[in-house]
A and B are shown apart, each in its own frame.
Chain A
């Protein structure tokens, strides 16, 4: 595979997404929310001097959720458009006519978008940590936060891929809503089945939940690992089966996305 072709496509993905107003909008939205949360917790801690540790932990937890939620939503928004917009502009079939494998084109679009969202996520996280460090006078930036970021970036990758898959079948808005629904359903199923070792005497709803837990990449599990790392807690899970499950289920998701992409004749 020609490296120059892949590089050109990768930077083209950047150019495409950098023009998206969503990036700027989400950054300011995140910044406003972080500043708001910081102000609220500063106010609370001024009344509750006797439990500053609790307040600090809640504050850190709130920071994690804000940055992650906005990062996840941005991933879904850009994921919906990463291939779909090529089809809408009539560019997809022109790109497929180049000497590039359709699968590689699809993969480069997804990875380019993933790098963009990660850059946003990292920037927001660092900004938030700096604000919290300055206002609390405590240095809270550590390696655990970097590890947490790395793990959460897997959730972003899954969100982008899921969104790109739904965008092959639905309109942009429907794809966005469907991806969010799936995100929460998978997360719910993961939290239910990761702690329930016996699968006997299950009803239909539980069976469907189990299917979600088994088939899709485990957003809920990865999220909880990332959260634990962020909060400096230990990981209670056996990681090897989870890593194997991720590679198998994500490979399956990519394959299904590719089949959907090929069936579209690369046109809108």
Chain B
């Protein structure tokens, strides 16, 4: 069974067709990247997957369950492009909230928070309120919050945004360790150089159409991801 399965997806904003008959399979246990220029429909596709927005037609299944089935959401954890939470919460409070929402019971909560805080590099700011931390720290808190879940599919929307090189290295390590645990990581990012180093599968979307979907190596065929991407989008390869 695929971690994510999309069939004949169509989405309109007003009379404008944003997503056009998209079919997409994301296999289980892989690092997958959705790539596309600005306005290609990447964010709309993610919003559709997570049931944030209505769709005109088609079906979306997360771990075999329809996106509207809230039980399907137990299998998915989502990291938004801009992670926000109520500014008066402490970092630990956010992790605790996310842990509770993901069903972690009281007894296990503390050890899970400690584990994730170390993992995401936020153990030294656990007592700080969100309105006192930097943008990069906020990004790490967001990543830590998502990791509180034991989901099968992790969706990261622009995870490298606002991170310094150390942060980018950390998050790439996190992705690799999630993969080792058999989890599926779905990344939406513009930073092709970073994506190229880590993912196994890619899908290229432009103007609401999926132009390519499959293994990274088959797509780049010895070129850099940037060149392959540019040729497909601009050169109509």
Binding site for B on A (CB under 8 A): 1-2, 4-5, 7-9, 12, 15-16, 19, 89-91, 93-102, 262-263, 265-267
Contacts and interface: CB of A to CB of B under 8 A. Distances in A.
Interface in B88-114: 88, 97, 100-103, 105
Interface in B30-89: 47, 50-54, 70-71, 73-74, 76-78, 80, 82-88
A12 B88 CA distance: 12
Given A2-B103, A5-B101, A91-B85, A99 B47 contact: no
Contact of B52 (A2, A98, A265): A265
A97 B73 CA distance: 7
A4 B70 contact: no
Contact of B101 (A16, A19, A100, A263): A100
B74 A99 contact: yes
Contacts of B84: 89-91, 94
Contact of A262 (B47, B54, B85): B54
Contacts of B85: 89, 91, 94
B70 A100 contact: yes
A88 B139 CA distance: 18
Contacts of A102: 51
7 contacts: A4-B100, A8-B100, A93-B52, A94-B85, A97-B77, A99-B101, A100-B101
Nearest to B102: A98
A142 B17 CA distance: 63
Contacts, number: 68
Contacts of B86: 15-16, 89, 91
A93 B84 CA distance: 10
Nearest to A262: B54
Contacts of B101: 5, 8-9, 95, 98-100
A16 to B, nearest CB: 7
Contacts of A7: 100
Contact of A94 (B47, B71, B76, B78): B78
A96 B88 contact: no
Which 7 A-B pairs rank lowest in CB-CB distance, beginning with the nearest? Answer: A90-B84, A97-B78, A8-B100, A99-B73, A99-B74, A98-B101, A265-B53
A93 B80 contact: yes
Contact of A8 (B77, B87, B97): B97
B70 A97 contact: no
Nearest to A96: B52
Q: Select the residue from A93, A95, A97 with max chain B CB neighbours within 10 A.
A: A97
Given A2-B103, A96-B50, 5 more contacts: A89-B85, A99-B74, A262-B54, A265-B47, A266-B52
Contacts of B74: 99
A89 B88 CA distance: 12
Nearest to A102: B51
Contacts of B53: 265
A265 B87 CA distance: 22
Contacts of B71: 99
Contacts of B82: 90
Contacts of B54: 262-263
A9 B86 CA distance: 13
Nearest to B155: A97
Nearest to A267: B52
Nearest to B44: A265
Contacts of A263: 54
Contacts of A5: 100-101, 103
A267 B53 CA distance: 10
A104 to B, nearest CB: 8
Contacts of B102: 98-99
B193 to A, nearest CB: 28
